[in-house]
Amino acid sequence: MPAPAVAAPSHIGIANLPNQRHKIVSRKGARFTIMVLGESGLGKTTFINTLFTTILKDYKKPEHRFAKQINNTVEIEITRAEIEEKGFNVQLTVIDTPGFGDYVNNRDCWAPIVNFIDDQHHGYMKHESRPERKNSDDLRVHACLYFIQPTGHTLKPLDIEVMKQLSTRVNLIPVIAKADTLTPSDMQAFKDRIRDCISHHGIQIFQATPHDDDDAATKAIMAASPFSVIGSETEVTYADGSVGPGRQYLWGAAEVENESHCDFKKLRNLLIRTHMHDLISSTEETHFENFRSTKLTAEGRSDDDPSARARKVMDTKMKEEEDALRKRFTEQVRLEEARFRQWEQRLIAERDRLNQDLEQQHRAVKQLEDEYEEVLALRKK
């Protein structure tokens, strides 16, 4: 049974972004980065092209594309476009990955991608303390679309493994590829099994929260997850006479932007319209903070880490210097104290000597007085 249709405006816009639950922090606009991931041949590249074509219909600015080597083996392709509405800018970046699962040994085939995601957090963490940092290299992933093969059965062990790795690092959004290859009832049963599998394995996927109690659109969007998508770079005539992206078959067309054919529109609304800000803020507040605290704890422990080792050497050196200083200080105090005691002794001796002097003087005066008295007494006689 197809999910209920959502009453959404007909064109893609980001005008209501500032009306989302929180205000976007930067006046300059936001950076929003989506990554697509999954086995090769599932239609990831086609999906990206479909997404850009349908978004950029309304925008004149040219998109640009470039490839980036993330290690010696993996090359990612980056597509960028600035989308703008009513003076509000979003720099949309989509990262296409080459896909994995083509090799006999798939163990750790996702490692370069997971490392790439971590590297972005790490790069940002290093730049965080520098106010003059350059933002253009920031490729922190706000939404990771994981493409699932439309087998009609359930998730493969490889999917489970990769999704587990991703779910602690990014907002993970599962997507069922090539929705046109399953009948609606098979699709529904497939979705149910995937949902069970995800919760059974404790995989954390992105949960769009409704913006208020009667946010029916968000509820309908989340009810459709995992999102089924159809990708196409060609346009077809829809059953209602309109023209849009789709795949033409003898029996008719699979319509990308038809909500009873697939969830492409719901997914696009979630990403570009209703929950872009939630995806950005949860990346910064939850995933980046998770990364940072794990990283800092690990650095504190690790002896293999060169920076931790350097810090340790530094600590030891500082402690030695401190000890030497304390020793010098104690010695100085001891000498000063001895000097003071000698001085004190000298003062006491001097005082005693003066007191004796004084006593002698007193005695002399007394004697003179006595003699004087005697003389006076003699004279009176």
Ligand X SMILES: Nc1nc2c(ncn2[C@@H]2O[C@H](COP(=O)(O)OP(=O)(O)O)[C@@H](O)[C@H]2O)c(=O)[nH]1
| Site residues (vs ligand X, CB under 6 A) | 40-46, 99, 178, 180-181, 230-231, 247
Shortest separation between residue 182's beta carbon and ligand X, angstroms? 10
CB of 74 to Mg ion, least distance (A): 12
- The owner of tokens 């290859």 is 181
174 binds, among ligand X, Mg ion, none (CB under 5 to 8 A by kind): none
Q: How far apart are CA 29 and CA 73, in angstroms?
A: 34
Binding piece for Mg ion, criterion CB under 5 A, among 39-47, 129-137, 179-187, 238-246: 39-47
Query: Could you tell me the smallest distance in angstroms from the CB atom of residue 252 to Mg ion?
Result: 27
Check binding of 79 to Mg ion (CB under 5 A): no
For residues 236 and 234, give the distance between their C-alpha atoms in angstroms, rounded to a whole number.
Answer: 7
Q: How far is the CB of 189 from ligand X (least distance, A)?
A: 19
Q: Please identify, using beta-carbon distances, which residue of 231 and 245 lies nearer to Mg ion.
A: 231
Beta carbon of residue 41, minimum distance to Mg ion (angstroms, whole number): 8
181 contacts which partner out of Mg ion, ligand X, none, CB within 5 to 8 A by kind? ligand X
33 versus 46: smaller Cβ distance to ligand X:
46
In the bound complex, what is the minimum distance in angstroms from residue 95's beta carbon to ligand X? 12
* Helix extents (H) in the chain: 44-56, 111-128, 157-167, 184-200, 216-224, 264-268, 276-282, 288-301, 306-380
With binding defined as CB under 5 A, does residue 45 bind Mg ion?
yes
Q: In the sheet that 64-69 helps form, which strands lie side by side, from edge to edge?
A: 64-69, 75-85, 88-96, 30-38, 143-148, 172-176, 227-228
Q: Does 97 bind Mg ion (CB under 5 A)?
A: no
Q: Which two tokens stand for residue 243?
A: 């023209």
Segments in 64-171 forming alpha helices (H):
111-128, 157-167
Q: Which two tokens stand for residue 316?
A: 């030891």
Listed ranges 37-45, 236-244, 264-272, 297-305: which one lies at the site for Mg ion (CB under 5 A): 37-45
Nearest to ligand X of 66, 213 (CB atom): 66
Q: Closest approach of Cβ 79 to Mg ion, in Å?
A: 12
> Could you tell me how many residues of this chain bind Mg ion (CB under 5 A)?
2
Contacts of range 13-19, beta carbons closer than 8 Å, 24 or more positions apart: 13/58, 13/85, 13/273, 14/83, 14/85, 14/88, 14/90, 14/272, 14/273, 14/276, 15/85, 15/86, 15/88, 16/273, 17/88, 17/90, 17/273, 17/276, 17/277, 18/88
**Contacted entry of Mg ion, ligand X, none for residue 178, CB cut-off 5 to 8 Å set by kind:** ligand X
**Residue span binding Mg ion (CB under 5 A) among the ranges 11-19, 45-53, 273-281, 351-359:** 45-53
Residues that bind Mg ion (CB under 5 A): 44-45
